[in-house]
Amino acid sequence: MAFESVYSQIFDVVIFGAGYAGFAAAGEAQQQGKTVLLVDRRPAVLAESAWAFSMAVGQSAAPPWRAWLDALAQRSAGNADYIDGAIAEVLANQFLLDRRIRTLYYATPVAAHVDDHALAAVAVAVKEGVRVVRGRQFIDASETGQLVALVAPGYMPAAPVRRSFQLFYRYLQAPDRAAVELGKLDIPGATARLVPSYWPNERVLSVDLPGTPGAFPRHRQAWVAALTAAKQSGLVDGALMTHGSVITYDTYAPTSSPPHVPTNLGMAVAAISGSATTLAQRFDLGLAAAKSLDGLSKSGDRMLPLDFPDAAIKPRQVNTDVVVAGAGTGGAFAAIAAARQGAAVMTIEPLPFVGGIGAGGGIHWYYFGFRGGLQEEADQRVRELTPLFGASQQIRGFHPDAKKLVIEQMMIDAGAELLTGSTLYGVVRDGAKVGRAHVATPQGPLAITAESWIDATGDGDLAAHAGATHFLGRSSDCQLHAYSQSSGRAGVQKNEPNMWVVNYDAGFVDPTDTQDLTRARMVGVSHYVQEQYDAIERPTYIAPALGLRQGRHIETDYVLTLYDLVSRATFPDAVGRTGAHYDNHAIDYEFESDEGMFWVWVCRQWRSPLACQFPYRMLLPVGLSNLWIACRAAGVSADAHHSMRMQRDIQRLGEIAGLAAALACSEKTDARGVPYPKLRALLEATGALAPDTAPDDSFGPSQGPKLNAGDALPGDFAQWVADLKSTTNASLYHLVKHRKDAQPVVLPLIQDADAGTSWRAAAVAAMWDEPAAEPRLLAAIRQREEGQWPDEPKEGRPEHNNRLVPWWIVSIALLRRCGTAAMLPVLAQTAADPQLLHNARTATALTLTSLAQRVKLTAEQKDLVATILARLLATPAPNAVGGMQRKASLASSPPAAPTGNQRQPVVEDFTWQLHLAVAQAQNAAHLPVHDDAAKFLNDPRATVRKAFTRELQNF
């Protein structure tokens, strides 16, 4: 099926709001034969269950409602009185996929076009900017009437009269199922009850609050009161609080005078209806709206311009000192640090909570990095709060909800303003300065001006909107790291309830493309479909935040490199330390940089520790004077990024950026004028620059004193040469980097009688582009040399380690540095093998691309290149389709076993990589591009479409 953007179509019905009302309306409208687009600013369907975990199920006689309850019951996931929130999201998500109902998440309406009393189009703010969705009819099924607010002058959403949230306790063996009143909390009008769950090993602390003004995160402070009351009651002794509501479930009083809206707009708004107090009633509200469409008018089919005029969007003007875009892993710490220095701080966050991937992405575990600084204070406060949730040994890492509470309270105490559910969609520059940002909030659009700006979006959205130079994805194939879609997981270990991290590669996504983010979210959630769920084998929640490992890389004044990490570099403007290993989630190192491929495939150093200082300049985008990067988009090469992207790294970047931005305000200077001695003194005061002496790894491993940045370069020249003659390790990399001294010693060793010595010497020489390496590499290919491997079978051989490959495949990749036309007959013979592995085929095509770019080929040589490329495509590669972490050296490799509650093995088709690599070689050799390449222009994956669009435009 050809990919078609949702922005290029006119849908029969566009529905805003993917809760119970919108879900019901979408199903009903599609059943009527209408084309449907379902839009929500939240990346979840049935948020009342999936995020609020509401227990107010209610009753409905509508057949679609009964069918929905039956679908849950058939998988043992609910009944007429209780719906499991996580499983409801999974099954509703699958319903949308099965019905092919187009869905757009992460989109907030900001303007509407009304033609002849009919709504024709709505401008939505997404992270790329403003886009337009069009429909003949519309339904507003949002909670408070987001669409109605745009088309009904004077409409003000009603405030809720009550709000509730749920906290879930896992028991080894739950007590009797009777509800117990915990009485009033120390919050006026709030009450709490411990009530039965659908699951026999679970009970729910249900908290009811008055509908006071203010965003839900402020109400999360009520969690502490509720948790404390439960703890003091003794009713949760030995239990573990596994998860809780991300948002509140709100109920409203009926509206006395419904707003006047366009003639083709149906309404299913809970805040307007007032009577929709249960999930069933909200479902009925959506059904009624969909059924009312036949009695409503329709807009015409005129295609309006893609861009709304600026005047159509009327933002409210606000001003502050510092704006932090993103309150996730780095942004929350940036906001705290800046506000503690006395700056007025406004923080913009798309999700309804702070803390990012560790707090709401299900990855509540640190993976290396260095301790110290503001994050150490936060971690200590999390440890102190943890007993309210359960015993520390019951939790792998830190409790994510404890971290949400701690970081949010730190922001409140510091005085940082927080705008949740809000999307940055535009920036206005004033020369080299960021002057104004446009933000879509649940209450309407804002235009924010400030003196200092911090990009903590993860993907460099703020910097990119401001025109910063950046790159996205590998230059070879536009691919980024795999993303994860984590979930809550609770079971029994050592005879007590226990929770841990579910982290797996869910697929690939372009995080700068809202449509692709939506696709990735839905695909990730679909991996949790099971035929049957039970009290143990089920997700407790689906993580609201996607685990995005990579996005844009912004060009900064200094770009950290892999060599900096390997050599443990120091800097005169050091502001922190980083340490991990080359933790990319790929097996296709032929598509990585030459340096990355050499480090992993030749040196076999994927697991080896890396560490260095990082400089202040790494936070400063080139060409912008008042912007700091405090996220994974900071100035690192793609190779260095594989190590410097961990939670501790990003939290440190946040602290640095927050302090620097506040200093810039107080010193009345720009980012480059911040006095480094003052910044360093502030970092030293928090311990951000102090070396670890006694690391506490209870929240996950750290580098600690094992590897201090600034240590001497490992080994010396004599040791590197000795290693080349005897083993495979990082010494080969150091020899590459010290060519002047190494070349006279290494080149003669290519002729050494020992196969290992000669091959390693040839590999080093290949990185110097030395033609002398070519004969030895060709010999390895002809003879299909496997290579010399350690005796440890579990990790030391390619069949057991997906990041190791035989010498002959590595040799094909190395020839792109040093190969000449002399290699063509050998590659032609290799390509004739119908069982040739996928990575060997793609490596061959990439090497031919390099050859054609470096050497002017004769007509005969071009014909041979064409023959090789045709042979690569002639038969299916045995391992082109398989698991995300399949072994590159095996003809077939089963998908990795599902992790935790993930029940569907993730299988990807990587055939597109071969077609792309062949097309690149054909372009480079000035050969016609094969016809099958064009079909990938319609691939559902945005990264694939982009790669082929780029390549075919070059043809």
Residue-wise pLDDT tens digits, 656-683: 999 999 999 999 999 999 999 999 999 9
The pLDDT, as a whole number, for residue 794 is 60
The band of 891, judged by pLDDT with boundaries at 50, 70 and 90, is confident
Separation CA 169–CA 178 (nearest Å): 15
CA-based nearest residue to 946, from 466, 461, 509, 506:
509
The mean-pLDDT minimum among 56-60, 115-119, 634-638 falls in 115-119
Measuring CA to CA, which residue among 621, 710, 690, 708 is closest to residue 657?
621
pLDDT at residue 362 is higher than 90? yes
Q: Which of 48-52, 79-83, 507-511, 695-699 has the lowest mean pLDDT?
A: 695-699
Distance between CA 737 and CA 328 in Å, rounded? 37
Quote the percentage of the chain above a pLDDT of 70. Answer: 94
Over 70: is that where the pLDDT of 896 sits? no
Residue 185 has pLDDT above 90, yes or no: no
Q: Which of 87-101, 551-565, 701-715 shows the lowest mean pLDDT across its residues?
A: 701-715
Q: State the burial class of residue 735 (Cβ atoms within 10 Å of its Cβ: 0-12, 13-18, 19+).
A: buried
CA distances from 768 to 478, 567, 590, 598, 813 (A): 26, 19, 17, 12, 14
pLDDT for the residue 895: 66
Strand 129-140 vs strand 10-16: parallel, antiparallel, or unpaired?
parallel
Task: Give the pLDDT of residue 894.
Answer: 65
- Say yes or no to pLDDT of 826 above 90: yes
Tell me the C-alpha distance between 682 and 235, whole Å: 45
Q: What is the pLDDT of residue 323?
A: 98
Q: What is the mean pLDDT of residues 420-432?
A: 97
pLDDT at 110 over 70: yes
Which tens digit of pLDDT belongs to each residue from 313-345? 889 999 999 999 999 999 999 999 999 999 999
- Block residue for tokens 């479909």: 529
Helix axes 374-385, 676-686, angle to 10 degrees: 20
Which pLDDT does position 213 carry in this prediction?
A: 56
Query: What CA–CA distance (Å, rounded) separates 136 from 214?
Result: 36
Cα→Cα distances 637→257, 563, 584, 589, Å: 58, 10, 13, 16
**Strand stretches in 40-154, DSSP E:** 102-104, 108-115, 118-126, 129-140
* Residue 353 confidence (pLDDT) above 50: yes
Among 698-702, 843-847, 904-908, the range with the most confident prediction by mean pLDDT is 843-847
**Distance between alpha carbon 225 and the CA centroid of its chain, in Å?**
32
Distance CA 624, CA 617 (A): 12
What's the CA gap between 314 and 570, in Å, rounded?
Answer: 49
Q: Provide the terminal-to-terminal Cα distance of the chain, rounded to the nearest Å.
A: 24
Distance CA 87, CA 532 (A): 10
685, burial (CB in 10 Å: exposed 0-12, middle 13-18, buried 19+): exposed
Residue 897's pLDDT band (cuts 50, 70, 90): low
pLDDT digits (tens, 9 = 90+) for 471-511: 999 999 999 999 999 999 999 999 999 999 999 999 999 99
Integer Cα distance of 617 and 421 in angstroms: 31
Q: Which spans in 166-324 are helix H?
A: 216-219, 221-233, 270-273, 279-291
Measure CA 25 to chain center: 30
Q: Which has the closest alpha carbon to 324: 219, 439, 470?
A: 439
Rg (CA), the chain: 29
Residue 214 has pLDDT above 60, yes or no: no
Residue 215's pLDDT is 44
